[in-house]
Structures are given as C-alpha cells and as structure tokens.
Amino acid sequence: MGIKKDSVDYSLYLVTDRNILKGRDLFAAVEEAILGGVTLVQLREKEVSSKEFYNTALKMKQLTSHYGIPLIINDRLDIMLAVDAEGLHIGQEDLPLQAARKIIGADKILGYSVSNLDEAKQGKALGADYLGAGPVYYTGTKSDAGKPIGLEELKRIKDSVKIPVVAIGGINETNAAEVKQTGVDGIALVSAILGKQNTGAISRQLISLWKGN
Amino acid sequence: MGIKKDSVDYSLYLVTDRNILKGRDLFAAVEEAILGGVTLVQLREKEVSSKEFYNTALKMKQLTSHYGIPLIINDRLDIMLAVDAEGLHIGQEDLPLQAARKIIGADKILGYSVSNLDEAKQGKALGADYLGAGPVYYTGTKSDAGKPIGLEELKRIKDSVKIPVVAIGGINETNAAEVKQTGVDGIALVSAILGKQNTGAISRQLISLWKGN
Ligand code: NI
C-alpha cells in the first residue's frame, strides 16, 4: 500500500456517522475535515446493505487516497478487503482480533476498541496496531458506548502499552488539551467534527490544539 | 478444501433462519435436517453482531464438516473467510459478484440470487458457480423477496445458463415435484424444513421426492 502503517499520524482521527450530518453530504463533510487537518478517517456504517457499504467505502477510498490519508473500515473486514482500505477497526462485538489479523495480513492497520487496561493489554498481545480507548467522557454518539473511563484510566492504558492509543468519546475542542496531557497519540472524534456546520474550522482548531503544545 | 466445488450436490439446500425455530436449537435442527438428507447448508444471519455471526458460523462449520456437507455463508465474505466455509452466497444488495470472487479465489463456491433471466445471465457472466433463482412461489420467509417468478421463468433460467440452478421461495413437499420438472439442480428451503417440528422426516421426504423420480 501507498501508506506505510508505521508512519501513520493518529493525531486527529475522524470517525464517520451519517446520522449526524443533518442533510449534508458525507463526502463533502469528510473532505472539509481532511482539508481542515484530519489525519485519518474511519468509515463506520450501521444498518446499510453490504452493497451500499461497499459503494460508500469505494468512494471514500478515492477521497482519502487523493489526500494521502489512511482509510480505516469499521467492523467489516470484507469491505476493507474489497476496497483495499489501509486498515480495519474492530470492537469487542466484532470478529476476534486474531481471526481478523490472519485474514488481512501484517501490512494492514488493525485497530481495536478497548475500555479498560485488561482489554488494552489483550489487544496489544493479540496483534492490534493501535487502540481506540474510551469513552473518555460521556457521549451521545454511540448508544452502546458504556461508562466513561476517564483520563486516569486512559493514561494508565497509554503508559502500559507501547502501541499508539487514540482517545475516543466525548472529545471536543474544550477538552482536547487535557486529553493530550495523558500522552495518547491522538483523538478520535465523531460529532465534534461531523455534527458541526463548520467542519473545516473545527478541524483546524483541533489539529492546532493537538500539534500546538 | 475437503469438498470439491465441482462435485457439490445441490439437491436439497437448507437456508437457515433462526426466527422460525420456535425456541428449538439452531444446530440441533440443522443436524436433524442433514441426517434427513439435506445436501448443502447456507447460514443466513441478520441483525447479529459480527462476533455472534462468527461464533455461529464456526460452530456450524464444525457440524457441516462432520457430515461432509458444504457450508455456504450468506452475504458476509469476512465470516466466510474467517471460518473457511466452502462458499459465499450473495444477493443483489450484497458485495458485487466480481469483487467477491476476486477476494475469495477460484476454489470457493460463489452463489448468486437472481429473480429473472437477465440477472441469471449476468450472474453467470460475472463468475457465479450457481444461481439461487426465485422466489418461485409466494413466501412469508423473506419480507424483501419480491414477486414470484413462477415455474416458466425458472425453466427459462435453467435452460439458458449452464451452471447449477437452485430454486428458492415457497417450495415444500407439495410442489417439489413440479419444480423438479423445470430441470433445476436443487431446491432451497427455509421454513418448509426449519419451521417444522419434524425437520428430519420432512427432509427425508423432500430428498426422496427429489432423487426418486
Ligand atoms: Ni498502498
């Protein structure tokens, strides 16, 4: 692949959710976010047919490739393979990590959602390339997100694993600075970017907050 | 793989649906059906997590392998790969046929749902190994099944393509004989087998009807 997995910049990780776009076009919004400074895009689709997920992923891959940004597919390994995305993100209710790695091979990025230190250690042991840790704060985005883990557990996770950790859940421009203090490699955002009309400006603000100090 | 795709017996093709089991165990019911004469099993799961689909598929694969029956996974290519099932069945709302074939390779069975002659010809041209053609009759099983194609269109499809054709939709022990007259290679059943308490006996009746004349 054109993008080497060891040199991925996890700083500003955008996770898509077409339900919060309020009528705006998904691709236009993601492009704005990329132009604003997003460094990685995860395409997450729920309750769509495989055909629709595939078509969306294909178009998203063209967009992210155009900007040299890695595309990560949520959950669906088949879609990832079919569009040759850079990576796959799996959660606790998805395919087992080892089964996924066996199929996608060593060159693809494999992300894993964790909500505590045990899961983080397990994820690292089973071959995850990075961890999505959270929810850090309360969030309305994912109904199954669970209780916030807080900054201390986030820091404990980052201190314990050597792989990149991306914080997720309720992060926005008001708390990004304190999240950065934990030492994590990046912040993942859904509604704080895609739920806003000023997607580009918010992305610029977030990336400068993150890279600034 | 242990099962050669050129020697698959499509005669009595069981498609699973856990919603019609009325509390019975899926694996026990499928085992009864296999012992009764089912020659092929398609695992179809809707609205379950990838983890649950994977776990079910893994267990189903053990069962079908024990009896030397091919297992086909509906829609989810990733699950097929993860459990090394013998094949994948895709519909009009799933991954494109060519994208699927490219990933699964030539040795795996690739089935395709068609409801008219054009789709059948397209499916054959794009590399399907067999076609699931229907619905032949009205059916309550799939809400999105569409209008019945009838025996004439079924015969037209079978006469036009050289690959195996399995008839699906509303087939049971009362009409299996007239379906056989069309020359198709097998019948696919959901509720006519799994919706019955006497799964084994019905399977025996169907396979003897099919192989008898
Ligand atoms: Ni590349």
User: What domains does chain B contain, in order, with CATH numbers?
Assistant: 8-212 (3.20.20.70)
State the Cα–Cα distance between residues B179 and B202, nearest whole angstrom: 17
State the Cα–Cα distance between residues A8 and A72, nearest whole angstrom: 12
Question: Residue A168 corresponds to which tokens in the numbers above?
Answer: 């997720």
The residue among A211 and A2 whose pLDDT is bigger is A211
Bridge partners of B27? none
How much is the mean pLDDT over chain B? Answer: 94
Among the partner residues B52, B76, B93, nearest to A78 by beta-carbon distance: B76
pLDDT at residue A146, rounded to an integer: 80
Strands B165-168 and B130-133: parallel
List binding-site positions of A: 42-46, 74-75, 94, 113, 139-142, 170, 190-191
What is the least distance, in Å, from the CA of A194 to any CA of chain B? 25
* A77 with B78: Cβ contact below 8 A: yes
State the Cα–Cα distance between residues A81 and A89, nearest whole angstrom: 13
List binding-site positions of A for Mg(2+): 75, 94
Task: Give strand ranges (E) for chain A.
Answer: 12-15, 40-43, 71-74, 87-90, 109-114, 130-133, 165-168, 186-189
Q: What is the mean pLDDT of residues B100-121?
A: 97
pLDDT tens-digit series, residues B44-93: 998 899 999 999 999 999 999 999 999 999 999 999 999 999 999 999 99
Residue in A155, A154, A162 with CA at minimum distance from that of residue A128: A162
B99 Cβ neighbours under 8 A, 6+ residues apart: A54, A82
pLDDT at residue A6, rounded to an integer: 85
pLDDT-based confidence at residue B119 (cuts at 50, 70, 90): very high
Among the partner residues B49, B78, B96, nearest to A93 by beta-carbon distance: B49
Partners of A46 on chain B (C-beta within 8 Å) are none
Share of chain A above pLDDT 70, in %: 96
pLDDT-based confidence at residue A1 (cuts at 50, 70, 90): very low
Q: For chain A, which residues lie within 8 Å of any Cβ of chain B, measuring from their own Cβ?
A: 49-52, 54, 75-79, 81-82, 90, 92-96, 99-100, 103
Q: For chain B, which residues lie within 8 Å of any Cβ of chain A, measuring from their own Cβ?
A: 49-52, 54, 75-79, 81-82, 90, 92-96, 99-100, 103
For chains A and B, what is the number of CB pairs under 8 angstroms? 61
Query: What ipTM was estimated for this complex?
Result: 0.90
Cβ atoms of A13 and A39 within 8 Å: the answer is yes
Among the partner residues A51, A75, A82, nearest to B103 by beta-carbon distance: A82
* B96 with A51: Cβ contact below 8 A: yes
pLDDT tens-digit series, residues B92-106: 999 999 999 999 999
pLDDT at residue B73, rounded to an integer: 98
